[in-house]
Amino acid sequence: MNGDAPRKLDRELPTGVIVGTATITRCERNHNGYEWHLSNVKRLPKPRKPKRMPQPVWFQPF
């Protein structure tokens, strides 16, 4: 994330929709949990609502 970019308040962020895609390239455990390293991060032109119910693990949204 660009440190100079303005940050939105939580109430301004979309919920219940997919806003983009990314490839998980690496996952590391640290003292607070996990660090997810992403590549090929792309924002969708318009948020999309999943057609199927997301599960706590991975899911096929469309």
- Secondary structure class of 47 (helix, strand, coil): strand
Going residue by residue through the chain, which has 62 residues, state the pLDDT in tens, using 9 for 90 and above.
455 556 666 677 788 888 888 898 999 998 888 898 999 999 999 998 888 766 555 555 55
- Cα–Cα distance measured from residue 22 to residue 39, given in angstroms and rounded to the nearest whole number: 6
Domain count, the chain: 1
Per-residue pLDDT at 40: 95
Answer whether residue 58 is part of any domain: no
Answer whether residue 61 is part of any domain: no
Q: How far is CA 46 from CA 14, 18, 34, 57, in A?
A: 11, 9, 29, 24
Answer whether residue 29 is part of any domain: yes
Answer whether residue 62 is part of any domain: no
Domain span at 24: 18-44
Per-residue pLDDT at 11: 74
Query: Number of C-alpha atoms within 13 angstroms, CB side, residue 8?
Result: 6
Q: What is the DSSP letter of 30?
A: E
Per-residue pLDDT at 17: 86
